[in-house]
Amino acid sequence: MAARIGFLPFYLALYDEVAKQNREVIEPFYQKIAQELSSKGIIVETSPICRVQKEFEDAIKMFNSKGVDALVSLHLAYSPSLESLPALLNTDLPLVILNTTPEPQFGFRQNPQQITFNHGIHGVQDMCSMLVRHKRPFMIESGHWQDSDVIDRVVEILRGISAAKNFRNTTVGVIGDPFTGMGDFFITPAQMKADFDIDVIPVPEIASSPDIEDINDELIYLDSLFSFDSVSEEVLRENVLITKKLKDWTADKGITAFTCNFREVTDSSPVNRVPFLFAGVGMYEGIGYAGEGDILTASLAHALLSINKETTFTEMFCPDWKDNRIFLSHMGEINPRICKEKATLAAKPYTYSSGLQPLYITGECRKGEVLLLNLIPMLNRSYRLLVCPMRMEESDTTTFEKNVRGWIKPKIRIDEFLTKYSLFGGTHHSVLCYDESITSMKTFGEQMGWEVIIIE
C-alpha cells in the first residue's frame, strides 16, 4: 500500500508582485519533484503554490479530504514562517521537510540571478525554528534532488509513516485464546483496542461452503505458489476448503491480520485443521500473521506487509555458536514469497491436538539483507520496537528439507546479539523483512510513540 502525501509548496507573495515571470521556473521545479516522488511509488497530491496563511490552510484542508498520510514540504524560495505556521500547528499530519534546490552547485562563478531560485533553505530555517519553538514534530532531509539520495531518504521516512497508519488500521482475526503460559507477547484485546483502536474478532462457526468452482480455482492458484509433497487429494481439498472459507471470512469482516493457537484446533472446532496453508497464503496476499494467538505480532506483520511484501512471521530457534548464525523456523508457516525456491506443501504427522491432518508449508528463506523486527509490550501501556539488521544465508545442502528454515547472521557476534536482545526484553515472536531500511522502521516506531532500539 503506497504512501499518499500532500506535497506542500512554499513561496513568497512579494515575489509575485515584483517578478511574476519567476513562476516559469518555480512551478516546473515543483512538478518535477512531484514526479520524482511519484516515480518512487509515492501517491502525490499537489496543490497551488502557497504564499499566505489562507492558501496554506486551504491546501491542508484539501489534502485532508484526499486522505493523505503525511505532508511533504518544498520551499521554492523564502517563505515567511508565520504565513504557514498556524496551518501546520492545526494539523496532526506528520510533516516531512524536503530541503532541496534546483541547482547542485552555487560556487564562485554561479549566475547571481540563480539566487532567486535557490534560496529555499532561507525559508526552511525560518519555519523549522518556529516549529521547534512550538514543539511541533517534524522530520527533515537535506540534499540535492539529483546529486544525492535525498529523495530516497524522504521515501524511507514516508514508508515508516505509512506502516504506522496501517498498524492502527489493523483488524485481527483469531482462532482460540493465546497459548497458555506464554507471557512475552501477551496483550489483551481490550488493551489493543485502548492503545491502538485495533479490533480483535474471533473466528465464528464457518457454515457456508465455497462452490466447487471456487475450490478448483484455488487449487490452480496454489499450484502457482507451491510444490506438493505426497499430499492426498482428500487432505489437499479439505485444507483448501478451510483456506477458502477463512479467505471469505477475512474479506467479509475486513480482517487484515490473523493468529491461531494450534492447541485450540480440535476435530470438533469450527476450523478443525491448523490453517498453516491460510497463514502462508495470507502473508503472500498481505494479511499479517503470528502464531499461538499473538495478536500484537500479527498486527506488526500486517503493518510491515503493507509496505513490504517480502515479510514473514518467524522465531529464532537454535544458535549456531561455531559459525555465528541463528537458525529460524516455525511449525509450518512461511510467506512463500521469500523462499529461495518454490515452497512445498507437505502432510507431515500432526500430534499437537486432536485437529485433523493439516498441510504444512516448508521452505528455506532466500539469502539477502533482512531486518528482524520485534515488538515488546512494556509496563504502563508503553512499547519497545527492536530493529535488528541481519544477513540471511543460504544452505548448499541441508537436512531440513521438510522444515521452515533460515539462517541469519547478525552484524555482531551471536553471543553479544542474543545477550543484548534479551536484556532489551525481546520476545520469541518476530517479523522478518527483506531489503527494508532502518530509517523506515525507526520512523514507524517513532510515529507509534514507541521506544526504538537498533541492535547492530
Does this model's pTM top 0.75? My answer is: yes
pLDDT category, 287, cuts 50, 70, 90? very high
> What local confidence, expressed as pLDDT, does residue 8 receive?
98
Mean pLDDT, residues 30-40: 98
Choose between 198 and 233: higher pLDDT.
198
Q: Where in the chain is the domain with CATH 3.20.14?
A: 170-454
Q: Specify the pLDDT at position 398.
A: 85
Which residue ranges does the chain devote to CATH 3.40.50.10940?
Answer: 4-163
Residue found by looking up cell 497459548 in the block:
179
- Tell me the pLDDT tens digit for each residue of 212-235: 667 888 888 999 999 998 889 899
pLDDT > 90? residue 322: yes
Sign of the CA dihedral running 78, 152, 156, 371: negative
pLDDT the model gives residue 270: 85
Distance between CA atoms of residues 320 and 371, nearest Å: 19
Backbone angles phi, psi at 78, to 5 degrees: -65, 145
Beta-ladder partners of 10: 50, 75
208, pLDDT greater than 60: no
pLDDT of residue 40: 97
* Cα distances (Å, whole numbers) of residue 371 to 101, 384, 444: 33, 16, 14
Which residues, at least 6 apart from 143, have a Cβ–Cβ distance to it below 8 Å? 99, 100, 149, 150, 153
**Backbone CA torsion sign across 165, 169, 174, 180:** positive
Q: Note the pLDDT of residue 218.
A: 87
Task: Please determine, for residue 53, whether its predicted confidence score (pLDDT) is greater than 60.
Answer: yes
pLDDT reading at 209 higher than 80: no
The residue-averaged pLDDT of 298-307 equals 98
Tell me the pLDDT of the chain averaged across its residues.
95
Answer whether residue 210 shows pLDDT above 90: no
| Level-2 CATH architecture, domain 4-163 | 3-Layer(aba) Sandwich (3.40)
Q: Would you tell me how many other CB atoms lie within 10 Å of the CB of residue 198?
A: 24
Q: What is the pLDDT of residues 354-404, one digit of tens each?
A: 999 999 999 999 999 999 999 999 999 999 999 999 999 999 888 998 899
Contact residues for 12 (Cβ-Cβ < 8 A; gap 6+): 51, 77, 78, 79, 80, 123
Q: Is it the case that residue 7 has pLDDT exceeding 90?
A: yes
- The residue written with cell numbers 500532500 in the block is 6
Average pLDDT, stretch 181-196? 95
- Give pLDDT, residue 365: 97
Q: What is the mean pLDDT of residues 43-48?
A: 98
The CATH classification of domain 170-454, taken from the options 3.40.30, 3.30.70, 3.40.1710, 3.20.14 = 3.20.14
> Could you tell me if residue 5 is left (phi over 0), alpha (psi between -120 and 50 degrees) or otherwise beta?
beta
pLDDT, one tens digit per residue, over 56-114 is: 999 999 999 999 999 999 999 999 999 999 999 999 999 999 999 999 999 999 999 88
Mean pLDDT along residues 269-292:
95
Which pLDDT score is estimated for 206?
62
pLDDT digit string (tens) for 128-170? 999 999 999 999 999 999 999 999 999 999 999 999 999 999 9
pLDDT given at position 396: 87
3-state secondary structure the chain: CCCEEEEEEECCHHHHHHCHHHHHHHHHHHHHHHHHHHHCCCEEECCCCECCHHHHHHHHHHHHHCCCCEEEEEECCCCCHHHHHHHHHCCCCCEEEEECCCCCCCCCCCCHHHHHHCCHHHHHHHHHHHHHHCCCCCEEEECCCCCCCHHHHHHHHHHHHHHHHHHHCCEEEEECCCCCCCCCCCCCHHHHHHHHCCEEEECCCCCCCCCHHHHHHHHHHHHHHEEEECCCHHHHHHHHHHHHHHHHHHHHHCCCEEEECHHHCCCCCCCCECCHHHHHHHHHCCCEEEECCCHHHHHHHHHHHCCCCCEEEEEEEEEECCCCEEEEECCCCCCHHHECCCEEEECCCCCCCCCECCCEEEEEECCEEEEEEEEEECCCCCEEEEEEEEEEECCCCCCCCCCEEEEEEECCCHHHHHHHHHHCCCCCCEEEEECCCHHHHHHHHHHHCCEEEECC
What per-residue confidence (pLDDT) applies to 309? 98
Query: What confidence tier does 32 reach under pLDDT thresholds 50, 70, 90?
Result: very high
Distance CA 136, CA 297 (A): 30
Mean per-residue pLDDT, 326-353: 95
Here the cell at position 299 is: 498486527
What was the pLDDT predicted at 317?
Answer: 97
